[in-house]
Amino acid sequence: MSVSLDVTERIKPPRAVFLPFMMGHHFGVPHHKDLQTEIIKTALSRITKAEKSGDIFHFPKTWSEARKEGKKLKVKRQKFGD
Amino acid sequence: MKTQTEKELRPGLWETVNERYPDSMITKDDFVELAKLSKPLSESRLTFVSTAGVQPKGSMPFDTVHPVGDYTFRRVPSNAKPKDLEIHQLKYPTFGAEEDLNVIFPIERLQELTQEKFIGGLTESFYSFIGYNMDGERLENTLAEDIAEAVEAENADVVLLSPA
């Protein structure tokens, strides 16, 4: 998992998923279970999908999108409870 | 065509940090060969290795103020609840993790994926250390080797690695 593309490119792990997210939030935003699970499943899918070493998959969601989804879920939780 | 590294957003960072802490910013020249999974993920045993400084409450806190870092790791029971864990690390924003630990240490999501049989099983322990270690050689030769040995002893088939 990576939120720092330059670091990952220098370290050269065999497989990586790059997320344009804030440090400390590699698996998304609080209480967004679907996103957290999707990130893990994406990472694990690279075990079979990566064709050569050095594969860096760019996760198709921005930090802004993730935060907006998290805020919507927070409002929903406050309104209806968990 | 320029590589991503040549057009990096933080030009000179490696050289600047390495000047102060020699060899702390690691650059590898070669790619590690891809390892193939020998069985389906649904039959594989997974472990999680993290630099988030997550540790069981009551275990020896990581030394977060040592100038060259802490080269030890903690075992985190893979069946632990977030309320039984705490973070000792100062080098990344933890406001999300304080609300929901899963944003950096997705222990509950991995437990769920195992219950759903998406993953075959989890090792008894996950592994945690702090990312602030300024002696790259020591990191590779001691801490990384110690964790690799522990992971191997737990017969992990898959390792999910995450910095913080």
Q: Could you list the pLDDT tens digit for every one of the 164 residues in chain B?
A: 455 555 667 888 888 888 888 888 888 999 999 999 999 999 999 999 999 999 999 999 999 999 889 999 999 999 999 999 999 998 899 999 999 999 999 999 999 999 999 999 999 999 999 988 888 899 999 999 999 999 999 999 999 999 99
Structure tokens at B28: 């590898």
Residues of the domain holding A70: 5-80
Picking from B109, B118, B161, the nearest residue to A33 by CB comes out as B109
Tell whether B67 is covered by a domain.
Answer: yes
For residue B27, the chain A residue with the least C-alpha distance is A10
Q: What angle do the packed helices A33-49 and B107-115 form, to 10 degrees?
A: 70
* Probe site for chain A from B102, B114, B158 (most A CB atoms < 10 A): B102
Tell whether B17 is covered by a domain.
Answer: no
Question: What is the β-pairing status of strands B85-87 and B45-50?
Answer: unpaired
Question: Tokens 């910013």 label which residue?
Answer: B25
Number of domains in chain B: 1
Q: Please indicate if any CB of chain A lies within 8 Å of the CB of B34.
A: yes
Residue A12: CB atoms within 10 Å: 17
Tell whether B28 is covered by a domain.
Answer: no
Tell whether B2 is covered by a domain.
Answer: no
Residues of the domain holding B85: 45-162
Give Cβ neighbours of residue B164 (< 8 Å, ≥ 6 apart): A23, A24, A26, B50, B51, B52, B53, B89, B91, B92, B104, B131
State yes or no: ipTM above 0.90.
yes
The alpha-helical segments, DSSP class H, found in chain A are: 5-11, 33-49, 63-80
Number of domains in chain A: 1
